[in-house]
Structure 1
Amino acid sequence: MRRLLFLSIALTLQAAAATATAQEASIATEAIPSQPLDRALNSLSRQTGLQFVYTTQVTGNPQTQAIPAGLPPEEGLRQMLSGTGLRYRYLNSTTVTIEAETASSAPAKAPAASQALAQTAAASPRAEVTSEEIETIEVVGTYSRSLEQAVDIKRAKIEFSDSIVATDVADFPEQNLAEALQRMPGVAIERNKGLGSKVNVRGLPSEYTYVSINDLATASGSSGREVEFDIFASEIIQRVTVQKSPSAADEEGGIAGSVQISTARPFDYDRGRLVVSAEGAYNSISEETDPKFSFLASDTWGDFGALVSFSRAERTNRTDSTSGINFRPMSRFLGASGSRGTQAADVLARDAGVIIRDRTDTDETNLIVFQDKVGDRVYLNDQEKWGATASLQYKPGDRFSLTFDAMLAGFDTTEDEYDAAAYSASSRSTLETIHEYDATTLSEYGMVVLRDVSYTATQHEFLSKERINETDYGQYSMALDWSGDTWAAHAMLGYSGAEKTLDYSNLKHVAYAPSRTRWAGNSGETVPSASPNTIDMYNAPERYLFEAYETTLEQVTDDKYAAQLDFEKALDLAFMPALRTVQVGARYTDKSKERNYGELKITGPSAGDTSWVNTRTLADSPLQWISDIAPGGDYRMKDLNWMQVSNEYARGAFRYPGFATPFEDGQYYRVDEEVSSLYAMADMAFDLGSVPVTVNAGARYVDTAVLSFGYHQVQNADGSTGYTDSPVSRKGRYDDILPSMNLSAELLDGLLLRAAASETLIRPALTDIAYRRTASWNSFRFTDGNPDLQPTYAKQWEIGLEKYLDHGGLLAVSYFHKKIDGVVVNSLTGVVENVPVYNANGTLNGNYDFDVYQPVNADGSYEVDGIELIAQVPLELLHSSLQGFGINANYTMLDSSLAGESDLGISTPMPGLAEKTYNLTVYYDNDRFDARVAYNHKDEYVESIGYNMYPIWREAYGQLDVSIGYRVIENVKVSLRGINMTDEVTSGYTMDPSFPTMYERSGRRISLDVRSTF
């Protein structure tokens, strides 16, 4: 286990002014005897107020020289470290790092003013803390100070990593933790209706990132392993480190990286602390103002300490969207029996000159596409989110601590979607007239796109959808840290769990009539056709017949237990002086994810009643204008207004007494996973000529056992399909040895060469392992789980240069390479013939052949190369008049051979992978005022592949955020913040921008925050 000693003292300017003159020459009041390094630095910190930062991987814990009383700090340190092979270096006026000594460089001197200031403080030193905690938590924090602390963390770690600490996490206009992370080098986020939800590291998909909180793998109740960051409030997080090169001690490295989240502990603070914050935030589209409140209280009593924090927020966000405009293959019409198929072929020949040789040949018909659906949609998202942490610590000294950490969170959201849509590909329809077609744009793939078409029987829909998501999250852990003169031990027991319930309903009214659908501007539109039977789809409620009130219910339970034990031994071997420490450890985790799912369609006023189907109309329910249902007024995407049934009315009117959505055996699954791992690693420090080198090398053995349960589909004697009477289980197993090495070398003072190489893995999503079958009735497809899935592996290496500047400045460049094997893709693995498909009213629609798809590990390797640039520059380095100004910028560029899974052989990047991301923050701050302008950009990426054939792209997105803060008095700060100030839209397209699929606007968000610190 890596350990850092950080001796932290609270300094006050009043004390400095009173004592600096009297104590300039000598501050030591007593001699410091010969003793181990950690004890000697404790003593010196008590006398000087200096903060000392070091890692035992580099220094060990050697015996130091005795130093007499009365020496200045620099002379005392020089004598203390004499003969140990170590040196000291000032990071700033009060912080000193202990490092491996070089033959050519002398200890750096602190400026005279800094020496005087450092000599004024006297307080109890802070005890030893965990390996990443090197920041001081101050009463008055600034953004520039948080950047300095993050740079200190980066420099002290031997791995490639980047961090943000409390001030930056909580003091910017983020709506959740995902948005706080987007400003870190190589980190981008996925947005859902204006809200950051998932995190991508170095452009790779979110499922390639491993997430832990307080060293415990995080559950969130998602369908895969990725963490839904929108459930976590950023205010209760103390520090986040994104580690991009693993060590053997890490539970899993993650192919993209590892996000390590830490919450605060009472001994992180030099004294008692109370922080209270209140905020109101206004959304420009919903025109609602949302409250948020948070507080943190911490104190210590001798050897004991306690901390609690809490945050609660409400959010009402409206998003206006045109979407759903995807490609649909012409096999939908051409493959139909009777006149529908022959008419489609005749119209193609007549209006587009396209001659169909074989209507049943999908290799031919899949290359002719038309619009699947055009929708005008209003989303209203109401969220209630709360989070709390608690920490109890017992620390009788610097060598022992026992800590209990707890984190609880709740995330409840109700999303109303009001959708006026035209489903061009309805089962009753076919082509009537092709007004415009495009055989040029996608000609390299042999594709013809029907841009503007009239259809014989478009399925016009009014959909009132309601999604209720309730997530409860809890995590508890107990950590023990002990260190002796040469031995150290760490133990941890922990639990992480999430329970999620998703209640979905959709009130569906349908009108079949001829219509004309086409691409127009940024989206698509449906207008009346030339047919005498056409309708104005937005103004004909009496033509819309009730089809069903569809309901689904899903419950997910996600539990993870973990136990870890580590031992570290500091060495001082005459025959191998370079070997400083060895570390061994073991970890056991037990994970279980269980899912229940069911669906039921209400078709009448009682169970089994179908009297409403095709008799009740949309006009029979009370209707409201969409501009009145959703706060914020008019629909902003088009000059449209229409009337629908509100979800509030639908839930009360259509759910009859005693109604409940039953769970279905065929949708159930449970996956149990046990992982046992052992690791060993060593730390070495030596000189190559005049260059000090530090090396960490080791290997981790991982053994994984999987047990998957699910009801399996069977064929009954009468030819119908059913499921087994009880769950059927399947086992899977794999084991691996994962080596890793990290190296750093200080080529010149402040110029660090860093290198890393490792093999790492990311495990398949538990929902992919699940032994079950799900059906997509509209797509005529079954999807099976695969308990035999293996992890996705990566062999990776990275090399970089980092130049550390004064005042927390940093310039860094690195090049990384990843070779990825076993990417999980969905593959056609079989066909089930003559599957009956039923209409909403229970009548038989027909028997169809269903393709069976299954997640499999793809053959071959894929490679990712990337460059990452970081520039964190306080501008006072250029000129003293620019003190307080600074730039924090980063840029990541990828070149990848990762391929998407297009059945048409269309070359496409892996879904979710963006080639370029960058962030730029320009700031000014002082003790009273701060201002920041930040811009983050994520390049376009493939969001999904429609029908496994047509890549659907999410366009590049850039967002401008601002923050202005003023400290009214010492302990009270007022901040004005803005998110998405340029009111950017989220958009996408299929294969070419001239075929847009979505265009949505979520608006700006302006907040006013008052924070008090005592």
Structure 2
Amino acid sequence: MSPTSRRARAHTPRPTPLNRAIAALLAAGAACVPLQAAAQDAVPAAAAATELDAVRVSGSYSRSLDQAVDLKRDNIGFSDSIVATDVVDFPEQNLAEALQRMPGVTIERNKGLGTAVNVRGLPSEYTHVSINDLATASGSGGRDVEFDIFASEIIQQVTVQKSPTAAHEEGGIAGSVQISTARPFDYSERKLVLSAEGAHNSISGETDPKASFLASDTRGDWGALVSFSAGRRTNRTDANSGINFRPLSRFLGASGERGEQAQAVLERDTGVVIADRTDPGETDLIVFQDKVGDRVFLNEQEKWGATASLQYRPGNRFSLTFDALVGAYDTTEDEYDAAAYSASSRSTLDTVHEYDDTTLAGQGIVVLRDVSYTATQHEFLSKERIGENDYRQYSLAMDWMGERWSVDALAGYSGADKRLDYANLKHVAYAPSRTRWTATGGETIPSADPDTIDMYDAPERYLFEAYETTLEQISDDKYAAQVNARRSLDLAFLPALHAIQFGARHTDKSKERERGVLNIHGPGPGDTSWAGVRTLADSELRPIGSLVPGGHYRARELDWAQVSNDYARATFRYPGFATPFQEGEYYRVDEEATSVYAMADFAFDLGPVPVSLNAGLRYVDTSVVSFGYHPVQNPDGTPGFTEDPVSQSGGYSNVLPSLNTTAELADGLLLRAAASETLMRPALTDLAYKRTASWSSFRFTDGNPGLEPTQAEQWELGLEKYFDNGGLLAASYFQKTIEGVVINALTGVVPDVAVYNANGTLNGYFDFDVYQPVNASGSYDVDGFELIAHLPLESVHRSLEGFGVNANYTSLSSSLAGESALDIQTPMPGLAEKTWNLTLYYDNERFDARVSHNHKGDYVESLGYNMYPIWREAYGQTDISIGYRVADNIKLSLKGINITDEATTGYTMDPSFPTMYELSGRRISLGVRIEF
């Protein structure tokens, strides 16, 4: 039976996209933004449009801040916002970087590019993201959104909602990022905006173009808007990295001479005596360098995004809007890697030149700082990663407002397709060498052994091992429908009750992955004639400075030559080669959620103090079903997979209360309070019911469709002072109690699993540990405070007119812990305790200037071998923006990103053991913006 027919028979039938869309339209779902209406009457649409136009035309940063401050003040809950002008006038490379200056918001960076958004220092997967009220798909497999795929020019407004109401879609413990694109009736007249920019990277030396336009017009009851943005980015990163801890059990646990020699050398050179070298509880506390690599990355990106909006609005009481968002994000990343794998399976200790038993003595860990090894695995790797991302989102929204009733509804679809094509040309040389830590990373040099090599200049010693290929294809689709109704009240027996609101929402989400791996060992299918015969010298080699634009390697004083990825693809992929998808790598996760809510708005006076209060309850029911394959042993002992997919279901239901209130203690002085329960659903990759094998680590990893969501009980109390000149001072304290955190745990053991070497010979039979994501027992506390200051300085002195400060600071303390198998106390990966942003600005009718510094404190990036916390060091980046309006409708801008050329660094457990040193350079751009 074919894989397709097996899969079709095993899957539960699902509605077609057309049927699903019709059902969604019939359900008349809704996009709900009920918070502002809960506390006050709506602002007339014409007035709002005029205000927005004024901000866009003037290009005033201070006026855009004023508008964001007004949005914050009018919201019944804790929130912060930015508007389009704020985004346009700051230097940024994508949507993630456009959000990083909001209070409590920081971003994760990868090779000089913002990639994910953190709210209040919590990991990115704790943040819920929606575009036009649809939780957007991105193909990541988690709940976090890959912001780097979205161009910032397509957005109109962003609000980070930090305290939800019952009407908000569940899903964000840290907060919800609500993104809106522009609509034609946002403008009071015809609008055409054109912009173009060229950006220069200091390392690659390349200049990248970017262009965008927006066109909007209204005629009578109808309006139409389109926007488009396209750009190219070429970025080079030089990195001396990968220097992680490896437990000495790698050598001490080896049978025969390898293990015995490691034990003898350790005792001879360090005095450390091992009682039982087969006991990992003892040997895991002695560590050495796993791998040292010098790497050059060249990342080339092409991105485009477009929005369209068709709006029918016969008056201020009714509108019908169709919104569309489509785009693509394609990347090609070349990585040229010269690395020394100290933990080679052929190697062991030769000489320990330096060791450290003091720095980590508190954890009982001894670090071998400088070691010669008997047979280091030196590798030259030419890696190529090609990614193709296509996304689209469509929605139909209806808004109607009567004398007492108002109804809004939405039906929509969000989808993303991702295709990843990976290749790695691998040449290996086994030889004695010496590896040690340096001030910024690590280095490998010749040892005293006469058979040692200079790993950077011995191409004839490197043998071809394989040209490895991987192909992965992911589809991520979500359908949603929502309807909300609000009824204004004027009850004589309960005058404080102003309105009630209720609604329902249904979402249907599916992720499907196909993946395949095929390695080439010769010039044809099944041919292995190159393995162990062909050398690196038999291929065309080019100096690293000519393989990528920008010249010499900057992370260290070093040069070497490698095979280009273009040459590798042309030479090693024989005619007709294709990487096939494999059944065992397939999985699919289907998730449906239905929720209903009800809430009430109150307004009353406590003595002289006016109070607004919103209280509500949300009920959500979620069901999950997942399909995948499990690896098995075939009768001949070779590894295989179950013939048919295996499936498992799961589900849960939750009740989520919320309470938000504000009290105006004095003119412009607001006391704000909020309390709620919220949840974050497990990542789809954790739900996927399949088993993956790590043959070198003797471990199986299973998915778990039975996972329950991570839940939080949270409250916040804050004081906000609003000034007549648009200034704001705010302080708040928040606390969260988080339960059901997803961790990886040992859930079983599979005995006597056959493990094979790369050449197909049997390595032996081993017991495999089985790890699964599970909900941890107990709860964790997170608390912190947030400070916000937006101060136009003209209130200090008249001569400072146009100057201002916009700053925010977030401090976090948490009992959330990483899962170190050595019980090393460490924060949860991704959690930063301190973040702050500071912007100094000046603007007038013609000129504006901004200097902005964004700082994210150090945080644990991952746990090496589930034992040793690997930290990303605190990172601060300074950006500048200067604009000059040469005419009323033409503005020139000069922008700089990372103008101080900061490096990205990291370490394992202590800064004296660096593990990352990356340089991505600065970007300087020159642009023009024209408005009609």
Q: TM-score, normalised by structure 1?
A: 0.88
Note the C-alpha offset of 1:520: 1.1
Note the C-alpha offset of 1:231: 0.3
SS of the residue corresponding to residue 807 of structure 1 reads coil
Asked if the contact 1:128–1:399 (Cα under 8 Å) also holds between the matched residues in 2, the reply is no
Deviations 1:117-139 (A, max 9, x none): xxxxxxxx735989xx9886542
Asked if the contact 1:169–1:234 (Cα under 8 Å) also holds between the matched residues in 2, the reply is yes
Q: State yes or no: 1:871 paired with 2:789.
A: yes
Q: State yes or no: 1:480 paired with 2:398.
A: yes
Note the C-alpha offset of 1:4: 9.0
Choose which of 394, 419, 424 in structure 2 pairs with 1:501. 419
Note the C-alpha offset of 1:841: 3.0
C-alpha separation in 1, matches of 2:117 and 2:717: 24
**Aligned residue for 1:44?**
none
Asked if the contact 1:56–1:570 (Cα under 8 Å) also holds between the matched residues in 2, the reply is no
Stretches of structure 1 lacking an aligned partner (at least 5 in a row): 6-53, 62-96, 98-124
Asked if the contact 1:4–1:129 (Cα under 8 Å) also holds between the matched residues in 2, the reply is no
SS of the residue corresponding to residue 444 of structure 1 reads helix
**Aligned residue for 2:905?**
987
Identity of aligned residues (%): 74
Choose which of 424, 449, 452 in structure 1 pairs with 2:342. 424
Distance 1:646 1:4, change over 3 A: closer
Q: State yes or no: 1:144 paired with 2:125.
A: no
**Aligned residue for 2:534?**
616
C-alpha separation in 2, matches of 1:688 and 1:679: 28
Deviations 1:259-306 (A, max 9, x none): 000000000001010000000000000000000000000000000000
Q: State yes or no: 1:943 paired with 2:924.
A: no
Q: State yes or no: 1:126 paired with 2:107.
A: no
**Aligned residue for 1:199?**
117
Note the C-alpha offset of 1:667: 1.4
Q: State yes or no: 1:532 paired with 2:513.
A: no
Choose which of 563, 566, 573 in structure 1 pairs with 2:481. 563
C-alpha separation in 1, matches of 2:230 and 2:763: 49
Distance 1:453 1:899, change over 3 A: same
**Aligned residue for 1:58?**
39
SS of the residue corresponding to residue 45 of structure 2 reads coil
Choose which of 748, 751, 764 in structure 1 pairs with 2:682. 764
C-alpha separation in 2, matches of 1:305 and 1:339: 80
Q: Pairwise mapping of residues 446-457 of structure 1 onto structure 2 (< 5 A)?
A: 446-457=364-375
Higher relative CO (CA 8 A, sep ≥ 6), structure 1 or 2? 2
C-alpha separation in 2, matches of 1:721 and 1:993: 42
Q: Pairwise mapping of residues 224-239 of structure 1 onto structure 2 (< 5 A)?
A: 224-239=142-157
C-alpha separation in 1, matches of 2:873 and 2:516: 35
**Aligned residue for 2:322?**
404
Q: Pairwise mapping of residues 276-425 of structure 1 onto structure 2 (< 5 A)?
A: 276-425=194-343
Distance 1:503 1:128, change over 3 A: farther
C-alpha separation in 1, matches of 2:658 and 2:778: 23
Choose which of 502, 513, 519 in structure 2 pairs with 1:595. 513
Deviations 1:25-76 (A, max 9, x none): xxxxxxxxxxxxxxxxxxxxxxxxxxxxx95423469xxxxxxxxxxxxxxx
Stretches of structure 2 lacking an aligned partner (at least 5 in a row): 1-29
SS of the residue corresponding to residue 521 of structure 1 reads coil
Choose which of 480, 487, 492 in structure 2 pairs with 1:574. 492
C-alpha separation in 2, matches of 1:699 and 1:660: 53
Asked if the contact 2:141–2:511 (Cα under 8 Å) also holds between the matched residues in 1, the reply is no
**Aligned residue for 1:627?**
545
Aligned-partner residue type, residue 176 of structure 2: S
- Of 665-674 and 715-724, more deviation after overlay is shown by 715-724
Choose which of 878, 881, 896 in structure 2 pairs with 1:963. 881
C-alpha separation in 2, matches of 1:779 and 1:324: 18
**Aligned residue for 2:671?**
753
Distance 1:857 1:977, change over 3 A: same
Q: State yes or no: 1:881 paired with 2:862.
A: no
C-alpha separation in 2, matches of 1:129 and 1:659: 59
Number of residues paired by the alignment? Answer: 902
Deviations 1:436-484 (A, max 9, x none): 0111111111111000000000000000000011100000000000000
C-alpha separation in 2, matches of 1:809 and 1:700: 35
SS of the residue corresponding to residue 260 of structure 2 reads helix
Asked if the contact 1:771–1:786 (Cα under 8 Å) also holds between the matched residues in 2, the reply is yes
Asked if the contact 1:613–1:841 (Cα under 8 Å) also holds between the matched residues in 2, the reply is no
**Aligned residue for 1:922?**
840
The structure having more radius of gyration, on CA atoms, is: 1
**Aligned residue for 2:22?**
none
Asked if the contact 2:171–2:681 (Cα under 8 Å) also holds between the matched residues in 1, the reply is no
Asked if the contact 1:3–1:55 (Cα under 8 Å) also holds between the matched residues in 2, the reply is no
Aligned-partner residue type, residue 39 of structure 2: V
SS of the residue corresponding to residue 531 of structure 1 reads coil
Asked if the contact 1:246–1:253 (Cα under 8 Å) also holds between the matched residues in 2, the reply is no
C-alpha separation in 1, matches of 2:842 and 2:52: 24
C-alpha separation in 1, matches of 2:448 and 2:533: 28
Asked if the contact 1:610–1:841 (Cα under 8 Å) also holds between the matched residues in 2, the reply is no
Choose which of 699, 702, 725 in structure 2 pairs with 1:784. 702
Deviations 1:308-330 (A, max 9, x none): 00000100000000111000001
Note the C-alpha offset of 1:192: 0.1
SS of the residue corresponding to residue 821 of structure 2 reads coil
C-alpha separation in 2, matches of 1:766 and 1:56: 35
C-alpha separation in 2, matches of 1:860 and 1:646: 52
Note the C-alpha offset of 1:717: 4.3
SS of the residue corresponding to residue 799 of structure 1 reads strand
**Aligned residue for 1:464?**
382
Asked if the contact 2:710–2:742 (Cα under 8 Å) also holds between the matched residues in 1, the reply is yes
SS of the residue corresponding to residue 517 of structure 1 reads strand
SS of the residue corresponding to residue 586 of structure 1 reads strand
Deviations 1:829-886 (A, max 9, x none): 1222332333333333333332211100011110001100000000111122211100
C-alpha separation in 1, matches of 2:31 and 2:72: 14
SS of the residue corresponding to residue 38 of structure 2 reads helix
**Aligned residue for 1:275?**
193
C-alpha separation in 2, matches of 1:737 and 1:220: 28
Asked if the contact 2:484–2:504 (Cα under 8 Å) also holds between the matched residues in 1, the reply is yes
SS of the residue corresponding to residue 351 of structure 1 reads helix
Note the C-alpha offset of 1:222: 0.3
C-alpha separation in 2, matches of 1:290 and 1:487: 52
**Aligned residue for 1:891?**
809
Aligned-partner residue type, residue 299 of structure 1: D
Deviations 1:749-770 (A, max 9, x none): 0000000000000000000000
Give the RMSD, CA atoms, in angstroms.
1.6
**Aligned residue for 2:469?**
551
**Aligned residue for 2:97?**
179
Choose which of 429, 434, 438 in structure 2 pairs with 1:511. 429
Aligned-partner residue type, residue 635 of structure 1: Y
Note the C-alpha offset of 1:663: 1.4
Q: State yes or no: 1:707 paired with 2:688.
A: no
Asked if the contact 2:632–2:639 (Cα under 8 Å) also holds between the matched residues in 1, the reply is yes
C-alpha separation in 2, matches of 1:497 and 1:295: 24
**Aligned residue for 2:7?**
none
Distance 1:716 1:651, change over 3 A: closer
C-alpha separation in 2, matches of 1:710 and 1:934: 48
Distance 1:334 1:3, change over 3 A: closer
C-alpha separation in 1, matches of 2:377 and 2:709: 43
Deviations 1:891-947 (A, max 9, x none): 000011111000000000000000000000000001110000000000000000000
Aligned-partner residue type, residue 288 of structure 2: F
SS of the residue corresponding to residue 806 of structure 1 reads coil
